[in-house]
Amino acid sequence: MARYIVKRLALLTITLLGVLTLTFFVSHVVPGDPARLAAGVRAKPEQVEALRTRLGLDRPLWQQYGRYIAGVVRGDLGESIRTRRPVSADLAEYFPATVELTVFAMILCLLVGIPLGILSAVKRESVIDHVSRVASTAAVSMPTFWLGLLLQLLFFRWLQILPATGRLGFYLSPPTRMTGLYALDSLLSGNWTALGDSLVHLILPGAALAASSIAVITRMTRSSLLEILSLDYVRTARSKGLAEKAVILKHALRNALLPSLTVIGLQVGVLLAGAVLIEVVFSWPGIGLYAVQSITFVDFQAILGVTLITAIVYSGANLIVDVLYGVIDPRIHY
């Protein structure tokens, strides 16, 4: 297992280099002059040229690429043209908000998707099963941003029971920063008011972000469990007089979770990608909103930084899923 993990980490390095290379050259062929945008509309031509020289944008593209890759190796992601701060500092500020939202959405996916899939498989062709399949189809088909707007309209505008934007209410100060995750920092510092308010602010964006992933996990769990329940060893377990609950939970579910585990790992990337739209709709100060603002400003360094950290998280999630295969099914060896 250790050799396998080392090999995967080596492949991860190659993958990240490919992602950075592709993103670098694509971002640099997009029309726009970042030096002009950074200098401002009233800047004189000589000021724009001076800024372009300072940022290294006057150099040939291959030199800019080599300079950037060398900086990444040293841990330097460059300076954001828009914020005039190191990109690593910006990511350290914005990324915890995205992590908190993604983790909350993934918890919703696991708490709702897997039990609902099990229930649909056990109660096949029942009202619960039909409702679950219709709801799953609707959730997968519905655009994430549109669902977010509907939730805001329903729970904020009409019912007025949940906040529509932000991570905390305007009347509250952020908790003492330890991890950057407001809910966790509030818990660690004993700030129960901030804890409750941060969890309330997570509900709408988390639900909108998790909806399509819940549908995918539900359908995969249902399909896998139905297939396992039709196998001979399950029928043998039933013929021995085992309770239906024991047959499902102890014999069938463990094998049925392997395909679902693959889907769950893929949903980490889906949630990170979906967070871009959700963060814009809910004014959530994460890397999704940071990425959108950077793209509109043609901020190369910031775009590359967001791409890099997203690729690392996505690849890391898939590595963890591969390792968990061997934990769930001891017959799997690497």
Q: What is the pLDDT of residue 39?
A: 74
CB-count burial class (<10 Å; 0-12, 13-18, 19+) for 252? buried
Specify the pLDDT at position 221: 92
Structural domain containing residue 189: 95-328
In a domain, 86, yes or no: no
CA atoms within 13 A on the CB side of 251: 21
Residue 55, SS3? helix
> What are 151's strand-pairing partners?
none
**Residue 80 domain-assigned (yes or no):** no
Distance, CA of 104 to CA of 97 (rounded, Å) = 11
Write down the pLDDT at residue 274: 76
Kindly report the pTM of this predicted structure: 0.87
Instruction: Please indicate, yes or no, whether residues 231 and 154 belong to a single structural domain of this protein.
Output: yes
Query: Of 264, 293, 288, which is closest to residue 276 (Cα–Cα)?
Result: 288
Residues 58 and 116 in one domain: no
110 sits in which H/E element: none
Alpha carbon distance 165, 203 (integer Å): 11
Same domain, 53 and 140: no
- Taking the alpha carbons of 172, 176, 181, 185 in that order, is the dihedral positive or negative? negative
Q: Give yes or no: residues 65 and 189 share one domain.
A: no
Question: Measured between alpha carbons, how far is 123 from 67 in angstroms, rounded to an integer?
Answer: 60
User: Does any domain span residue 117?
Assistant: yes
Indicate whether 49 and 113 sit together in one domain: no
Residue 82 lies in a domain: no
Is residue 229 domain-shared with residue 136, that is, in the same domain? yes
30 and 179 share one domain: no
User: Is the separation of the CB atoms in 217 and 260 below 8 Å?
Assistant: yes
142 and 278 housed in the same domain: yes
190 shares its domain with 66:
no
Are 59 and 135 in the same domain? no
Nearest Cα to 236, choosing from 252, 222, 225, 249? 252
Tally the domains of the chain: 2
Residues 6+ apart with CB under 8 A from 311: 15, 16, 19
Q: Is residue 165 part of a domain?
A: yes
Q: Is 42 exposed, middle or buried (0-12, 13-18, 19+ CB in 10 A)?
A: exposed
Cα(144)–Cα(117) distance, integer angstroms: 21
Read off the CATH number of the domain in which 117 is found: 1.10.3720.10
Reading the chain (334 residues) residue by residue, the pLDDT tens digits are: 677 778 878 888 888 888 888 888 887 777 767 777 777 767 788 888 887 887 777 888 888 888 888 888 888 888 888 888 999 999 999 999 999 999 999 999 999 999 999 999 988 889 999 999 999 989 988 888 899 999 999 999 999 999 999 999 988 999 999 999 999 999 999 999 999 999 999 999 999 999 999 999 999 999 999 988 888 888 888 888 788 788 888 778 878 887 888 888 888 878 887 788 899 999 999 998 899 888 888 788 898 899 889 888 888 888 887 777 777 766 666 5
Looking at the domain assignment, is residue 268 inside a domain? yes
187 contacts 216 by C-beta, under 8 angstroms: no
Residue 83 maps to a domain? no
Tell me: do 25 and 101 sit in the same domain: no
* Contact assessment for residue 299 and residue 220, using Cβ atoms and an 8 Å cutoff: no
**Residue 278 shares a structural domain with residue 154:** yes
Asked if residue 255 is part of any domain, the answer here is: yes
